[in-house]
Amino acid sequence: MVFTCDFCNKQIVETCTLYFGFDCMCCSNYCRSQVISINLQIDPTMNNPHTWFIHRLRARKTKQESLIPKTISLIDLLGQLKV
């Protein structure tokens, strides 16, 4: 099975290590640490998981057609917020 990193949108093959954190699946410890720092900025007390970035990403994904492959990553969303 092929997975996709929620932060950088890179494909993760079965033989690679999966890194999990804050409801995200990441391809590396770097991506996972970036997810952690983003979530700490959004929710410093870590008491409101519904506000975390992955839930915003998934909310956008459910609005799109389910047959379309995942094209939005956390990096893409950060870029849109900076604009």
The reported pLDDT for the residue numbered 69 is 56
> What radius of gyration, in Å, describes the C-alpha atoms of the chain?
13
Domain layout of the chain by residue ranges: 3-82
- pLDDT, one tens digit per residue, over 6-60 is 888 888 887 788 998 888 889 999 999 999 998 899 889 989 888 887 766 665 5
The reported pLDDT for the residue numbered 19 is 92
The reported pLDDT for the residue numbered 13 is 84
Biggest CA-to-CA distance, the chain? 37
